[in-house]
Chains A and B, each alone.
Chain A
């Protein structure tokens, strides 16, 4: 009985509504969580998977890719196309053409797993993710655009 009376008093005094109001009021003074994206870049973690890119050997500056086609076979979207050729010095192969079609890429990272050039893989998931473009043909990235630092941003601001 006392419980019911207490419940009635609580409901007349709108206790639970006031508790709810206090929650929103308190949150007003908390630090905000917004990341103002184009102005501030989001804090990307080291393992972030952006678009796949090609890597050169940081010491010699040579292509790391050995043209083994494993990434092409591992890709579930068929977005990688590699044309291998013999190296000029006759030892092994290298990629003559390496095209990634970012229209199809799903950023899964499966192409990196089988890459045989360890510890630095020739293909790697970079931190670039701003891919917007006005034309579909621009999503076909030939080899020289795949290296680190190649401009992909088309828009400004």
Chain B
């Protein structure tokens, strides 16, 4: 029965469902986990990289971009970072769109775009693909971690249907249910950034398939305020991730490491 309504994104099934949207969400539940935790003095974002091969050339990740490998965590504007789960190509397109939206706001109003407004811009686009004909929706969920003067630090989640919601701590992607119940148990109000970082790493190490964490499997970022109270995004470099993991005693043991130089 579902078949008849599968190929049309804009047609309701007799049960009142939009199958393509549900399939898009299904695609996301197989993607690498992304975790976000809101602290009182910052936000933490971590993401699991699913596909890694020994032959994949990651040398660009060490120098280029804003510090990350540019696979899961991106800088959208000087006050917003995002973690994506789903189809990478779709995510790249959305990241590009939101960067443009943020710059347009800066051009019009000479201020950083408020975080919720940026989420709305993207959700308006995503919603369009659930209504207008013949096209496939974006197979991407995003976590936005941002700061603005109106509501300080904020964490939002948006899905392929164009729904968005604000969170204190949440996760998307594979095992997001497990991660979320762990976060629910361990999250405390007025958590500090330091505690949030260790919480994120702990939850991440429990939900990921591999037993030990390493920079080749993990992306990590924080958003804080600098001395002048301006938002400061930090997307960790692979070496920084490894030293952070060592600090929290979650890193690989030395003897496991292959191809030591």
Tell whether A pairs with B: no
